[in-house]
Amino acid sequence: MDQFRRFDEAYYHRFYEDPKTRVVSAEEHASLASFVFSFAEYNNLKIKSVLDVGAGVGLWKQWIEKNKKGIKYVGTEVSQAMCKKHGWQNRDVARWRDRKRHDLVVCQGVLQYLPDPDVAPAIANLAAMAGGLIYLEITTRQDLREQCDKDRTDHDIYIRNGSYYRGILQKHLVHVGCGLYWPKDIAWPFFELEMCATSK
């Protein structure tokens, strides 16, 4: 767990709490959460349980508690500081797999911090824990070059091409679009052209 020591109070204050330097505000995050849950509702997907891998300061939990009462939420973190502050389970997704499946699995801004040997096991674990939708956000080389706010985005990550992640993701998941995925071992409820190109 030594590789995770940098995720202390100062890290989360810099990237998630200080209005001058945070990468996303609660209001901006609310738009994302609304989109994910609206997508699920449109597709008649019932979300009764959420697993948030890398729960951080708790933006997903806060939104769910305000807007989707009654959902069982589980947050995990590698950060000892965030576990102590918010009560998350201290888990490393590359080495941990919940025995239960969750209707929605969220893994936002996590995989780019894992060294190469940990990425494939982490993705396999995420797929195995998903009983439905998975939302993934992973910063790539192209994102850093063309999309990210260079003053607010953390550059101290493993900088990889999108093709690297796609090669691993497609072994386990079907890409539905906009960061949403579906486990290949569960029959998907989408029409063919609603999904990105996939092989069964």
Contact at 8 Å (CB) between 125 and 152?
A: no
CATH number reported for the structural domain that contains residue 187 in this entry: 3.40.50.150
d(CA 60, CA 72): 12
Position 68 pLDDT exceeds 70: yes
Is 199 domain-assigned? no
Domain boundaries, position 180: 2-194
Nearest-angstrom CA–CA distance, 82 and 4: 12
Residue 67's pLDDT is what? 98
pLDDT tier, 18 (very low <50, low <70, confident <90, very high otherwise): confident
Mean pLDDT of 47-59: 97
Supply the pLDDT for residue 199.
55
* Average pLDDT score over the chain: 94
Going by C-alpha positions, the residue among 168, 174, 53 that lies closest to residue 120 is 168
CB atoms within 10 A of CB 172: 19
User: pLDDT for 130-148, tens place per residue?
Assistant: 999 999 999 999 999 999 9
For the chain, how many structural domains are there in total? Answer: 1
Q: Is the residue at 91 inside a domain?
A: yes
Q: Say if 44 falls within a structural domain.
A: yes
Phi, psi of 86 (to 5 degrees): -115, -10
Q: Which two tokens stand for residue 164?
A: 């690297």
Cβ of 87: how many Cβ atoms within 10 Å? 12
pTM over 0.85: yes
Over range 98-117, report the average pLDDT.
Answer: 97
